[in-house]
Structure 1
C-alpha cells in the first residue's frame, strides 16, 4: 500500500474526531462484561476462601484460594498480554473467559483442597489478560479527551459485581457444603455467557494499523463513522496521525525509549497490590480481627463493597480533568489516612462507614492507574507492557497479602496499616518522580 493511500485511510485520526455514540457504549458494555465477572472473583476470592475454611475447617484454605488465583493471573497476564499484541485484542477475548468459566465451574465440584486450588489457578490464567487487554482495548477505541472516562465507565459497571458477590456469599453461607461452591458456579456460568456475547466485538483499528492492516482498520472505522454521521451529521476534518507501523518485540519494553516507564510501572504494580489488596482481599479478615462475627462480617463486607461503585461513579467525572499521575498519588494517601482511622475505631457503625470510604477511595486509585498504565506504552507493545507490569501485581499480591496476613495482622490492625503506609510512600515517590503526564493527550503523543 502506498504512503498516500495510508494517509487517506488515517484510521487513528478518524477515531480521534468521533463523538461519543451508542456504538462506543455498546463496545464498552461488551468489554465490561468480562471485567464484571473477573472483578467478582477478584473481590470475592477472600470471602470464598473464608467460607471454604469454615466448611472444611482447613486453615490452609484462605492461602490456597487467594494465592492460587493470583499466581494464575500472573501467568495469564503475561501470556494473554503478549498474545494481544501479536494476535489482536479480539483474539484474546475468544479464549480467556471460556477458560475461566469452565475452570471455575469444575473447581466448584472438587472436594480436595489441592484440586480446588489447581482449578482456581487455571481460572486465574483464564482471566489474567482481562485487565491489561481491557485497558488497552478501551483506551485505543476512545478519543483522547474521553479516554479516562471510557476506562472509568468500564470499571464503574464492572464493580457492580462487588455487592453481588458479597450478597451471594452472604446468603450462600447458610448452605453449608455448597456455601463456597455456589459463587464459583455463578461466576463460571456468567463468564461463559459474556464470552459468547463478546464474539461480536470489532478489532482495534489502532492495533490493525500497527500491523499494517490498513484496509481492515478502514472498514471498522467507516462503520463507526457512518453511525456517528447518521446521528450528528457531517464529521469535522480528521487530524493526520501516523500509526507508527512496526513489528512488536517484547524486548522493546526495556529499550532506551521505554525502559524508564517499564521500570516505573513494575515498581508501582509490585507495591500497589499491597495497598489495594491489603485491604480488599483481607477485608473479611480485618473485620473478624475486630471481633465481629462471621455473619456480620459478610453483611458488613457487602455494605463496604458498595463504596467501590460510588467511588467509581465519582471518578468518571474527574478522571479526565485532573492529572492521572497525581490522582494516583493523592488517592493512595487518602486511602491510607482513612484506613488508619478504620483500624483505630471500635464502633461497628464507624468501622462500616470508614470501610466504605476506603473502598470509595481505592476504586478511584484503581481507575486512575488502569488508564495510566496502558496509555504510557505505544500500541505495538501496549498490551504486552500492561500484561507484564500487571502480572507483577498478581505475583506480589500472592506474596504481600500472605505477608500481611501472617506477620502483621496478628499484631493488630495498626501494624497492618503501618506496612501499607510504607507501600504508599514507595508508590507516591515512584509515580511522582518518574511518571509522565498523560491526561487529555492522544495516545500517539504520549508514546513519543
Structure 2
C-alpha cells in the first residue's frame, strides 16, 4: 500500500527510538483514514448514516417546535406574543431565547465531551438528557418554569448537534461526505412537516384536558427513546479511536465494516489510495493559528448572521403570518404546507452536494433567501405566501446541510467536536439576541422590517463566505487540515 509520510520530522534520525514510534502511530492513523475513504456507498455504509440521521430527526423535532407551538403558549396565557421591553421574560422571545441560551452552553462549553469520551457515548446520553428535560417542560404552568426547562433541554440538544455532525463526517467516506449530510438533513428535516402538522391538529385544542402544545412536546420526547434501541448498530468512530491510540479497536471496527461492504460488492473492495499526511495532536488553541485562524474568524462571523436568516423565519413564521392579518388556524395550516418543503431542500442537495463547492452553494442560497424574504413581506394571497415560504424553506435547509458539512471539514479529528462546538456556539448566542431583536423590530417596524433585517444579515453571510471560505469539495479530511 502506497502511503505518504505522515510528518517529515518523524523521519529525522534520533537515537532514542521515539521518532520511530511516532511515525508508526502516524502511519496507522493515516491508514485508518485511507481505508475509510476508499469504501464505496453500499448498504452497510448508508445504514450507519441512516441511524445517525434518525437521531438528527428527533433533535430537529425538539429544536424547531418552538415556533409551531408558540400560538398555543400565547393562547394558554403562559406567554405573550410580544415582550415588555427589549428583554422581557414573559413573551415568545424569552422562550426561544431560553432554548438558544442552552444551545450556546451545550455547544460552547460541552463540545469537548465528544472529543474526550467518544462520539457514540455522547450521541446517546445527550439525547436522553434533552428528552427528559422536554418532558419536564411539557408540564410547566409558568413562564419561568417553561423557560428554565427549555434552557436545560437546549444544553443536551447543543451537545447532540455537534456530536452528530462530527460523527457523520468521520464515518462517511470523503466521496460521500456531502451526500451523507444531505441524506442526514433530509431525514432530519422531515421532522419539520411532522411537528407542523401535529401543531396544526393539536395546538388549537386540548385533548383530554391537556393543552395541545404539551402533546406536541411530549410526542417528540417519547418517540426519541427509540434511538436507544437503534444505537446498538452504531460503532465508535475509527478515526477518533486512532487519535486516542486505540488502534486495535479501530481496526476491529473497520475490518468488520470492510467485510460487510466486500460481501455487498461481491467480495472485492477498491484499492486503498495514498495516505494523506495527518495532523499531529492538536490543542484547542490551534484554532487561532494558521491555517485554522482565518477559518475560525470566517465561521464566527458566518454563524452570527446565518442564524438571523434561518431562525428568523423558521421560528417566527406562524407569528409573522398572524401579524399580517391571518388567523391562528390558517397561519398554522399555511405553516404546515410550507414545512412540507423542509426535507426537500437536502434531497435537492443530494444531487449537488459533491458536485459544487460548499461555499458557492451557501452564497447562492443566501441570495435566494434575501430575494424571497423581501417579497414574502409584501404579499397576502395564500398562493404567494406558500410559494415564497417554500422557497425560503428550501434555501435555508440547503444552507443548513451545506454548512454542517463544511464546518466539520475545516478542523482536525483531535479537536473537531470542540472547535466546531466553539464556532457553532456563536450561532446559538446570536439566536438568543435575535429572538428579542426580531420581536422588537416586529413590534415597531412590522413584518417588512423583520425581512429587511434578515436580508442585511444574509448579505453579510455572502460577503464573509466569499472572502474567507476555503474550498473543500472531494478532499480528504486530513488534506483539508493542512
Aligned to 1:94: 124
Deviation at 1:5, TM superposition (A): 7.8
- Provide structure 2 residue ranges, at least 5 long, that are not aligned to the other structure: 1-19, 81-89
Deviation at 1:383, TM superposition (A): 1.0
Deviation at 1:57, TM superposition (A): 5.5
Per-residue CA distance 1:79-103 (angstroms, 9 max, x = gap) = 4421111221112113101011111
Match of 1:326 among 337, 357, 360: 360
Aligned to 2:250: 217
Matched, 1:18 2:52: no
Alpha-carbon distance between aligned partners in 2 of 1:135 and 1:292, rounded to the nearest angstrom: 38
Deviation at 1:199, TM superposition (A): 4.4
Query: Could you tell me whether the CA contact under 8 Å between 2:277 and 2:479 is conserved in 1?
Result: no
Deviation at 1:320, TM superposition (A): 0.7
Query: Which stretch of structure 1 is more off in the superposition, 51-60 or 417-426?
Result: 51-60
Deviation at 1:401, TM superposition (A): 2.5
Alpha-carbon distance between aligned partners in 2 of 1:368 and 1:142, rounded to the nearest angstrom: 15
Per-residue CA distance 1:321-359 (angstroms, 9 max, x = gap) = 011101101100111101111111121221111111110
Give 1:427-446 correspondences, 5 Å limit. 427-446=461-480
Give 1:304-343 correspondences, 5 Å limit. 304-343=338-377
Deviation at 1:256, TM superposition (A): 3.4
Query: Could you tell me whether the CA contact under 8 Å between 1:163 and 1:302 is conserved in 2?
Result: yes
Match of 2:48 among 27, 37, 61: 27
Q: TM-score, normalised by structure 2?
A: 0.89
| Higher share of residues assigned helix | 1
Query: Could you tell me whether the CA contact under 8 Å between 2:25 and 2:245 is conserved in 1?
Result: no
- Provide structure 1 residue ranges, at least 5 long, that are not aligned to the other structure: none
Query: Could you tell me whether the CA contact under 8 Å between 1:211 and 1:247 is conserved in 2?
Result: no
Match of 1:404 among 435, 438, 457: 438
Query: Could you tell me whether the CA contact under 8 Å between 1:50 and 1:61 is conserved in 2?
Result: no
Matched, 1:197 2:230: yes
Alpha-carbon distance between aligned partners in 2 of 1:102 and 1:264, rounded to the nearest angstrom: 35
Task: Give the count of matched residue pairs.
Answer: 448
Matched, 1:135 2:165: yes
Alpha-carbon distance between aligned partners in 2 of 1:46 and 1:15, rounded to the nearest angstrom: 40
Query: Which stretch of structure 1 is more off in the superposition, 31-40 or 328-337?
Result: 31-40
Q: CA 1:196 to 1:106, structure 2 compared with 1: closer, same or farther past 3 Å?
A: farther
Give 1:344-423 correspondences, 5 Å limit. 344-408=378-442, 410-423=444-457
Q: CA 1:34 to 1:243, structure 2 compared with 1: closer, same or farther past 3 Å?
A: farther
Aligned to 1:107: 137
Alpha-carbon distance between aligned partners in 2 of 1:217 and 1:246, rounded to the nearest angstrom: 18
Alpha-carbon distance between aligned partners in 1 of 2:399 and 2:309, rounded to the nearest angstrom: 10
RMSD of equivalent CA atoms: 1.8
Matched, 1:281 2:281: no
Aligned to 2:220: 187
Alpha-carbon distance between aligned partners in 2 of 1:221 and 1:372, rounded to the nearest angstrom: 25
Deviation at 1:120, TM superposition (A): 1.1
Give 1:105-184 correspondences, 5 Å limit. 105-176=135-206, 177-184=210-217
Deviation at 1:247, TM superposition (A): 3.7
Aligned to 2:94: 64
Query: Could you tell me whether the CA contact under 8 Å between 2:93 and 2:436 is conserved in 1?
Result: yes
Deviation at 1:235, TM superposition (A): 1.4
Query: Could you tell me whether the CA contact under 8 Å between 1:409 and 1:415 is conserved in 2?
Result: no
Query: Which stretch of structure 1 is more off in the superposition, 283-292 or 199-208?
Result: 199-208
SS in 2 for 1:175: coil
Match of 1:206 among 222, 234, 239: 239
Query: Could you tell me whether the CA contact under 8 Å between 2:37 and 2:172 is conserved in 1?
Result: yes
Q: TM-score, normalised by structure 1?
A: 0.96
Deviation at 1:405, TM superposition (A): 1.9
Alpha-carbon distance between aligned partners in 2 of 1:196 and 1:250, rounded to the nearest angstrom: 34
Query: Which stretch of structure 1 is more off in the superposition, 403-412 or 66-75?
Result: 403-412
Q: CA 1:64 to 1:11, structure 2 compared with 1: closer, same or farther past 3 Å?
A: same
Alpha-carbon distance between aligned partners in 2 of 1:229 and 1:58, rounded to the nearest angstrom: 57
